[in-house]
């Protein structure tokens, strides 16, 4: 029987634990958390079999241990685990930055037991209460093994990631940190800066906030992420983030000068190039900025219109994730926004509604 250990049970750790329980119902999972309430919730949900508020020999016979706290805390976890784990235990983490923990692994002489891990999935919501076994589905899950760890251990981890529904990708940890700085860390800082820009320059009546359209909400959604977690990430990957931010600032300054000078063709070329590149991305829901399976529907402004549409979808067993009226459609089409859990449900809904003469606009 396999035994897995978890140190900290937040959104990611909890989701991995739940996913493992789906794959290996008989596996034993032991988890450490600072708060007993977190452990109680995890026990009640069936995500874990044993909870503890201390790190001791109870973890000694684990086949694999996931470190699921911020980077600095994970480094401390390694210090606590080294005296108690067996030589066969594989250690991994779920952090967004790999340099620091690989350096700690090297210093502690745990090279033969460590495979860095980074599930490129998440949410602006945090904590075990928001964990779900489906969180990792169709998301890249990057593995950064040390050179000394056995290939068989990497293969086993790779298979586990695949069984969880994620897409494993093996990279050197230095490449991982540079790539994630570009596609995850800098975008979070940009989103936070943009949200604060509107906050700082809004009118006294908060008109900007009132009429903020879908485009603004989409690009700033990740600004709602955990301040503690993201400060830890920025400190741990400071060099890569700063270098890419500097390059981004230069590009923004070029744009500012061109706009101020009303330079004909500059913004056209900018949007043309960005559109071509962005349109080349896969439609699969991978990475930190999740794909939304949504569409927009024009409906009459009359009592019962939304209920009728919801009933039509429910009658065909098409589950709705979210539904709402779009108050500002400066960047959106259709008065009603509907989101689904998966691509198939979206496709079936669009086909059905169009067959019933609804005007449906697909989200790009």
Choose between 215 and 151: higher pLDDT: 151
Q: Are strands 167-170 and 140-145 parallel, antiparallel or unpaired?
A: parallel
CATH number of the domain that residue 197 is part of: 1.10.3660.10
145 and 185 part of one domain: no
Same domain, 252 and 196: yes
User: d(Cα 119, Cα 101) in Å, to the nearest integer?
Assistant: 16
How many domains, the chain? Answer: 3
Sign of the alpha-carbon torsion through 52, 55, 58, 64: positive
Would you say residue 68 lies in a domain? Answer: yes
pLDDT score of 283 more than 60: no
Q: Are residues 73 and 200 in the same domain?
A: no
Phi (first) and psi of residue 115, to 5 degrees = -130, 110
165 and 199 housed in the same domain: no
pLDDT digits (tens, 9 = 90+) for 69-87: 988 899 999 999 999 999 9
285 lies in a domain? no
Residue 296 is predicted with a pLDDT of 86
* Spatial contact of 34 and 151, defined as CB atoms under 8 Å apart: no
Indicate whether 59 and 121 sit together in one domain: yes
How many CB atoms neighbour CB 244 within 10 A? Answer: 18
Task: Tell me whether residue 49 is in a domain.
Answer: yes
State the pLDDT at residue 282: 55
CA dihedral angle for residue 65, residue 71, residue 72, residue 75, rounded to 10 degrees: 30
**Mean pLDDT over residues 137-141, rounded?**
85
CA distance 319 to 309: 12
108 shares a domain with 28: yes
Q: Name residues whose C-beta falls within 8 Å of residue 287's C-beta, 6 or more positions apart in sequence.
A: 120, 139, 140, 183, 184
Is residue 233 predicted with pLDDT exceeding 70? yes
- The pLDDT score that the predictor gives to residue 329 is 44
Residue 189 and residue 154 in one domain: no
Q: Are residues 266 and 320 in the same domain?
A: no
Dihedral sign computed on CA atoms, order 200, 202, 203, 204: negative
Distance between CA 357 and CA 362 in Å, rounded?
A: 15
In a domain, 25, yes or no: yes
pLDDT confidence band for 222 (50 / 70 / 90) = confident
* Angle in degrees, 0-180, between the axes of helices 238-260 and 227-236, rounded to the nearest 10: 100
Q: At residue 287, what are phi and psi to the nearest 5 degrees?
A: 90, 175
Beta bridge partner(s), residue 361: 296
Query: What's the CATH number where 336 sits?
Result: 3.30.70.260
Q: Which of 234, 255, 279 is the last residue of a domain?
A: 279
Q: Is residue 337 part of a domain?
A: yes
Q: Is residue 184 part of a domain?
A: yes
Pair (25, 162) in one structural domain: yes
| CB-based contact 149:113 (threshold 8 Å) | yes
Q: Are residues 24 and 162 in the same domain?
A: yes
Q: What is the pLDDT of residues 243-262, one digit of tens each?
A: 999 999 999 999 999 999 99
Residues whose CB falls within 8 Å of the CB of residue 255, separated by 6 or more in sequence, listed in order: 266, 267, 270
- On whether residue 287 sits in a domain, the answer given is no
d(CA 94, CA 13): 8
- Looking up residue 14, the CATH number of its domain turns out to be 3.40.50.720
Q: Which of 171, 203, 236 is the last residue of a domain?
A: 171
pTM of the model: 0.76
From 154, 171, 188, give the residue that closes a domain: 171
Rounded CA-CA distance 307/283 in Å is 30
Same domain, 165 and 183: no
Least confident range of 6-10, 169-173, 224-228, 324-328: 324-328
Q: State both tokens at 12.
A: 């990611």
Structural domain of 211: 176-279
Query: Are 14 and 143 in the same domain?
Result: yes
């Amino acid at each position: 029987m396999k035994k897995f250990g978890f140190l900290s049970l937040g959104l990611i750790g909890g989701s991995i634990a739940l996913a493992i329980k789906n794959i290996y119902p008989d596996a034993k999972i032991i988890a450490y958390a600072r708060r007993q309430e977190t452990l109680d919730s995890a026990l009640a949900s069936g995500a874990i079999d044993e909870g503890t508020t201390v790190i001791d020999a109870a973890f000694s016979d684990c086949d694999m241990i996931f470190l699921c706290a911020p980077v600095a805390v994970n480094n401390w976890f390694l210090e606590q685990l080294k005296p108690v784990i067996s030589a066969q235990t594989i250690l991994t983490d779920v952090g967004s930055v790999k340099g620091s923990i690989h350096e700690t692994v090297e210093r502690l002489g745990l090279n033969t037991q460590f495979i860095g891990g980074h599930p490129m999935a998440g949410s602006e919501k945090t904590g075990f209460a928001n964990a779900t076994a489906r969180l990792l589905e169709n998301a890249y899950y990057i593995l950064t093994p040390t050179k000394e760890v056995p290939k068989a251990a990497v293969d086993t981890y790779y298979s586990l990631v695949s069984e969880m529904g994620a897409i494993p990708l093996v990279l050197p940890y230095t490449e991982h940190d540079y790539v994630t700085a570009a596609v995850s860390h800098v975008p979070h800082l940009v989103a936070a800066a943009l949200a604060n820009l509107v906050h700082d320059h809004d009118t006294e009546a908060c008109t900007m906030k009132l009429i903020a359209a879908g485009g603004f909400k989409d690009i700033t959604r990740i600004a709602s992420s955990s301040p503690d977690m993201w400060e830890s990430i920025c400190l741990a990957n400071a060099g890569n983030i700063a270098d890419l931010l500097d390059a981004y600032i230069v590009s923004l300054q070029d744009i500012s000068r061109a706009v101020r000078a009303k330079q004909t063709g500059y913004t056209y070329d900018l949007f043309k190039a960005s559109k071509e590149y962005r349109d080349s991305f896969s439609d699969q829901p991978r990475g930190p900025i999740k794909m939304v399976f949504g569409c927009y529907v024009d409906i009459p402004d009359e009592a019962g219109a939304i209920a009728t549409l919801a009933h039509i979808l429910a009658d065909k067993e098409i589950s709705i994730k979210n539904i709402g009226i779009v108050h500002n459609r400066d960047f959106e089409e259709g008065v009603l926004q509907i989101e689904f859990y998966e691509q198939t449900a979206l496709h079936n809904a669009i086909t059905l509604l169009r067959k019933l003469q609804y005007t449906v606009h697909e989200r790009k």
